[in-house]
A and B are shown apart, each in its own frame.
Chain A
Amino acid sequence: MSENDVEKKVADRYLKREILGEGTYGVVYKAIDTKTGQTVAIKKIRLGKQKEGVNFTALREIKLLKELKDPNIIELIDAFPHKGNLHLVFEFMETDLEAVIRDPNIFLSPGDIKSYFQMTLKGLLVCHKKWVLHRDMKPNNLLIGSNGQLKLADFGLARIFGSPGRKFTHQVFARWYRAPELLFGAKQYGAGVDVWAAGCIFAELLNRRPFLQGDSDIDQLGKIFHKLGTPTPSQWPDLEWLPDFVEYSSQTAQPWRKLCPTASDDALDLLSKLFTYDPKTRITVQQALEHRYFTSVPLPTDPAKLPRPAPKRESHNPRTSDLHEGPTVLSPKKKARRVMPDREVFDGNAYHVDKIDQHGGEIRWAAGDNTSRNEQVPMSVDFSIFGAKPMSRPTINSADRSHLKRKLDLEFQHPE
């Protein structure tokens, strides 16, 4: 290959191009996969300052993305160490949902909104089915590819859940997308936190501006209650038991019709279910996808036909011609994705009374309720069996063994 100063191959395979932005844990740059000709985005993961090897957040992302393969989830194509740093190779995505929402030149039809939101929920459903909480749902983590496919990205905060009783941190999500149970300090929470955030994204798609823009955790709750009303004990019985519960002066909910003036009745019904206060009765992603909103007209727009921001650089298709081209200078604006751009703060307009619709699903995540409790009990025992003197004290003495083996063999002479 030509040893151009700027063009160099990483790991004998990737032709490095311009820097796309600064990620949560390192630089992201564009590259060409010489093996496939595909444009990719490579995250170079800085090794931690505290000499802690592979960044913990990066490791989470790798671990989960290796398990989650779906058209609506970003694909981790490859990972490799290079000069002591770990590099993650992702499919290259043209833009993200935040750029779409913010672009004043883009008109989103009801079908377009439906399509973008449906893809968001589909990606989320795959996560929840695999017991993964995303925990950082927001428009700029929803990337959009050249074919209009929306994909969930940035799994750096994601976690496996489903061990009831396991405590998690409530410091997750960008504040505007944080569910009320998190703002009240809940440490045991479930898929509902992603559902709330999805609701915020839906409202943001409809209104073209962030729905609940608090400037502190306290203010965030204030913004929520201002629009949706303070939750009553019947709406959310467990509320007062949450660690950081504080009472707010009572406010009544504004009608959804006023909160999202352009939305259809079906959309408003779905919204009200996504914004159910009690996480136990909040709609699940599966139920949301089955909501009539998605089957009523207008149907979701075909992803390939969705409006996207006009490419700021190359006017031609980058995939076909990039291979033999010199590097292009990049307008850094294109993908300073991880940095929250300054957004105007809109104050919720004051409207009055309505009641929050609280139909909802059954209690979720009840399965396997006893696991973690039982897990605690034997923990103290097991090391004495296994750890300290394992070779001299196996659980079953071998003296018992021949007798046992005979018995084992006899009992299932004729297995079904």
Chain B
Amino acid sequence: MAANFWNSSHYKQLFDQEEVDVVHPLDKEKGITLEDFKLIKMHMVIPICKLAQSVKVRQRVVATAVTYMRRLYTRKSMSEYDPRLVGPTCLYLASKAEESTVQARLLVYYIKKIYSDDKHRYEIKDILEMEMKILEALNYYLVVFHPYRSLPQFLQDAGMNDISMTQLTWGLVNDTYKMDLILIHPPHLIALACIYTASVYREKDKTAWFEELRVDMNVVKNIAMEILDFYESHRLITDERVAAAFNKLKP
């Protein structure tokens, strides 16, 4: 469906930053700030990745799962939709939607293997119940487009499709899922922002190539800035800070 992002449900559902940065009233009551909210979402990516690694699914499944999770929290609270259950369930749903189904019992097995504490005592039935709730909250829209698809084409066109550049940009795209970019920007612009960031980082002047593209370079530049901001703030996050945010969600 690559050619048809513009008439996809994904395009129609893009949000403004202000719409994404709303802490649900129920979470606010518990003292969750916008910063906590972002931090928790960022940290939910980790267990999703760990699980994905254990059950061996494609990166695309991870990206779709993270997108479902982020979309969910634009509508629902973390108090009602426990992040510890939502993460694995999004991976479960994404594995089906991306045609590489993972068995629920396998996910449960690995959750227990990775986390031995009793905060993660979830059973198959919990995942299946949550699956239905997430489906409903997503209004059954499941098709998601990702920057990965256009990335190799852009790199080739720009003459930067060597291994090192491919790896760097691919890594950058992966990191963008720790932000809400996928909810806000068309995926091909995220891909371009990653290429832009990488080209500056590797000191390859690709200005001419970018100027020839029929895209709004201001948007691309802003996304690139956001990515860099993310890396900056990333350094300052401590485990204690994350734990404190999660602790506020305790009933």
Contacts and interface: CB of A to CB of B under 8 A. Distances in A.
Contacts of B53: 383, 387-388
A304 B233 CA distance: 63
A242 B221 CA distance: 48
Give the interface centre of B104, B124, B132, B210 by most chain A CB atoms within 10 Å: B132
Given A62-B140, A131-B2, A381-B170, A51 B232 contact: no
A415 B135 contact: no
B196 A408 contact: yes
Given A56-B96, A62-B140, A367-B3, A67 B231 contact: no
B167 A405 contact: no
Nearest to B221: A412
Give the interface centre of A53, A377, A402, A415 by most chain B CB atoms within 10 Å: A53
B247 interface: no
Contact of A67 (B1, B45, B151): B1
B201 A400 contact: yes
Nearest to A51: B124
B143 A67 contact: yes
Contact of B1 (A66, A84, A131, A388): A131
Nearest to B125: A51
Contacts, number: 188
Contacts of B59: 379, 382-383, 386
Interface string A372-387: 0011011101110111
B52 interface: yes
Give the interface centre of B167, B216, B217 by most chain A CB atoms within 10 Å: B167
B52 A404 contact: no
Interface range on chain A: under 10, 10 to 19, 20 to 34, or 35 or more?
35 or more
A159 interface: yes
B200 interface: yes
A370 B171 CA distance: 19
B225 to A, nearest CB: 6
A258 interface: no
Given A53-B128, A53-B132, A159-B99, A370 B175 contact: no
Contacts of B7: 130
Contacts of B232: 398, 401-402
Given A66-B140, A395-B168, A371 B153 contact: yes
A411 B203 CA distance: 12
Contacts of B171: 381-382, 385-386, 395
A395 B172 contact: yes
B156 interface: yes
Interface in A217-258: none
Nearest to A58: B96
A401 B216 CA distance: 23
B175 A386 contact: yes
Contact of A130 (B1, B155, B156, B174): B1
B46 interface: yes
A367 B2 CA distance: 10
Contacts of A1: none
B176 to A, nearest CB: 10
Given A80-B136, A378-B166, A390 B196 contact: no
14 contacts: A51-B104, A62-B135, A66-B143, A67-B9, A130-B1, A370-B152, A374-B161, A378-B166, A386-B49, A386-B174, A386-B177, A390-B175, A391-B237, A412-B207
